[in-house]
Amino acid sequence: MTMIEHPTIDIIAGARPNFMKIAPIIGAIESSQARGGRLQYRLIHTGQHYDAKMSGDFFTQLGIPAPHVNLEVGSGTQAEQTSAIMTRYEKLLIEKRSDLCLVVGDVTSTMACAIAAQKLCVQVAHVEGGIRSGDWTMPEEINRMVTDAITNLFFTTSEVANGNLRRTGVTDDRIFFVGNTMIDTLLANMSRLQQPTFWEELGLVEKRYLVLTLHRPNNVDGENTLAAMLRAVGDGARGMPVVFPVHPRTAKTLQSIANLSSNFHFVDPQPYLEFNYLVKHAKAVITDSGGITEETTVMGVPCMTLRNSTERPETVTMGTNELLGTDPAALAPALDRLFAGDWKRGAIPPLWDGKTGARIVEVLEKLFAR
Ligand code: UD1
């Protein structure tokens, strides 16, 4: 490994679930600099998410500094976004090279920047490397596989991830089991969570409402599929309010669905502190997200996942999450168990302890900084 006087790391963020993962890494680099550490970073926002509600609010609430560069790629198909990010990031690297490209998670920006960097022989580090759902119909799974195939350093969240990497031939000297940066952010902000302004207006009471989030193309792009899921949630909720922060992709389909039960409350995508306040005090969360299943596990909130697979199996084997599949009929018996008080309690996975950002920076200092 080449040691560099003032190594510069590109930190890549593009879409909503990236922002809570980069915040603790940036915080740890800045703490290290204050102690004389030599790592420098350049924060690059690809612009994959650009609305204040999907992006800017997270920077403000989590104290993430303004990006040094915004590639401003905006919306598009998978290939359009991938190619725009690659083209613009490649140009940036040619103009001003960095020593390492650090990507997080599994979004299009993660894969696109990893490819552009590695082709210019800039090493790649992947935070949350090694996780797999096995479901190739999800763009995120393709992003994970491609990214990990060309990653030099893996920062992992679980032993399962380590095993997945070893099975593809990755040697142990490239795997760093450090824990979960998303949980660093959650623990750091637990005492700052904010009640949403609509709390009183909707008459919400702790543990007497459900939170719903849906945004996977398979669940929300078809009107009939989405309508059937919403009816099953409405029917099983026993009149409890269902708070549904609606992702922009879901909003498009939702416009054409009528006659939903009156206990649904559709709200805008929530900022970080408000969203996790809602989750923390909910009776349960119903979701097709991956990251939310980690947060519910740490907060001990029952979670039902409307997917057939998960890349985060520890949320099921150790945590409060259950995979219900995508058949809406699975919701009724699961909600029966919830309301009967019969949901598992769960435990917190190893190293999900709030110190992951610091562990990552310690490794980077050792490997790169003189
Ligand atoms: C992306 C990620 C997914 C992540 C999700 C969280 C990929 C492949 N998927 O999916 O892993 O869980 O973000 O939100 O990277 N849009 C807006 N405003 C925005 C951003 C998007 O209106 O700020 C619209 C787009 O125009 C598009 C839709 O939302 O119609 C979907 O956006 P896109 O970035 O394609 O993917 P997501 O479904 O958000």
- Rounded Cα–Cα distance for residues 40 and 54 (Å): 27
Closest atom of ligand 1 to 54 CA is 23
Computed over every residue of the chain, the mean pLDDT equals: 96
CA of residue 48 to ligand 1 center, whole Å: 7
Which residue's CA is minimally distant from atom 28 of ligand 1?
249
Closest atom of ligand 1 to 106 CA is 11
Residues 6+ apart with CB under 8 A from 360: 25, 28, 127, 155, 176, 178, 181
pLDDT, tens digit, 9 for 90 and up, residues 197-227 = 999 999 999 999 999 999 999 999 999 999 9
Mutation pick for ligand 1 pocket among 20, 21, 46, 49 (CB with most ligand atoms within 8 Å) = 49
Catalytic annotation, pick one of 45, 49, 126, 215: 215
Active-site residue, 247 included: no
pLDDT, tens digit, 9 for 90 and up, residues 239-258 = 999 999 999 999 999 999 98
Q: What is the dihedral angle through the alpha carbons of 268, 60, 106, 219, rounded to the nearest 10 degrees?
A: 0
- Rounded Cα–Cα distance for residues 202 and 200 (Å): 5
Number of other CB atoms surrounding residue 228 within 10 Å: 17
| 1 or 169: which leads in pLDDT | 169
Closest atom of ligand 1 to 17 CA is 6
CA of residue 220 to ligand 1 center, whole Å: 12
What does residue 64 show for φ and ψ, rounded to 5 degrees?
-80, 130
Give yes or no for residue 259 having a pLDDT over 90: no
Average pLDDT estimate for 336-345? 96
Q: At what angle do helices 331-339 and 223-236 cross, to 10 degrees?
A: 20
Q: Are 350 and 332 in contact, with CB atoms under 8 Å apart? A: no
Cβ-based burial of 101 (10 A; exposed 0-12, middle 13-18, buried ≥19): buried
- Rounded Cα–Cα distance for residues 362 and 229 (Å): 45
Concatenating the DSSP letter of every residue in 62-131 gives HTPPPPSEE----S--HHHHHHHHHHHHHHHHHHS--SEEEEETTSHHHHHHHHHHHHTT-EEEEETTT-
Number of other CB atoms surrounding residue 5 within 10 Å: 7
CA of residue 33 to ligand 1 center, whole Å: 34
Which residue's CA is minimally distant from atom 33 of ligand 1?
75
Mutation pick for ligand 1 pocket among 20, 45, 54, 287 (CB with most ligand atoms within 8 Å) = 54
- Rounded Cα–Cα distance for residues 121 and 150 (Å): 11
pTM of the model: 0.96
User: What confidence score (pLDDT) does residue 370 get?
Assistant: 67
User: 55-84: string of b/e by CB count within 10 Å (b at 16+)?
Assistant: bebbbebbebeebebebebeeeeeeebbeb
Give yes or no for residue 53 having a pLDDT over 60: yes
- Rounded Cα–Cα distance for residues 328 and 347 (Å): 27
User: What confidence score (pLDDT) does residue 243 get?
Assistant: 98
Closest atom of ligand 1 to 14 CA is 15
Domains of the chain and any CATH numbers: 8-180+352-368 (3.40.50.2000), 195-339 (3.40.50.2000)
Give yes or no for residue 1 having a pLDDT over 80: no
User: What confidence score (pLDDT) does residue 227 get?
Assistant: 96
**Percentage of the chain lying above the pLDDT 70 cut:** 98
Structure tokens at 117: 């960097």
CA geometry: angle at 221 spanning 88 and 231, to 5°?
145
Give yes or no for residue 299 having a pLDDT over 80: yes
Q: How confident is the model at residue 6 (pLDDT cuts 50, 70, 90)?
A: confident
User: What confidence score (pLDDT) does residue 368 get?
Assistant: 87
Average pLDDT estimate for 122-130? 98
User: What confidence score (pLDDT) does residue 261 get?
Assistant: 87
Which residue's CA is minimally distant from atom 24 of ligand 1?
248
User: What confidence score (pLDDT) does residue 3 get?
Assistant: 64
pLDDT, tens digit, 9 for 90 and up, residues 268-286 = 999 999 999 999 999 999 9
- Rounded Cα–Cα distance for residues 55 and 13 (Å): 10
CA of residue 149 to ligand 1 center, whole Å: 24
CA of residue 51 to ligand 1 center, whole Å: 10
Q: How confident is the model at residue 48 (pLDDT cuts 50, 70, 90)?
A: very high
Residues with beta carbon inside 6 Å of ligand 1?
A: 15-17, 48-51, 54-55, 75, 106-108, 139-140, 215, 247-249
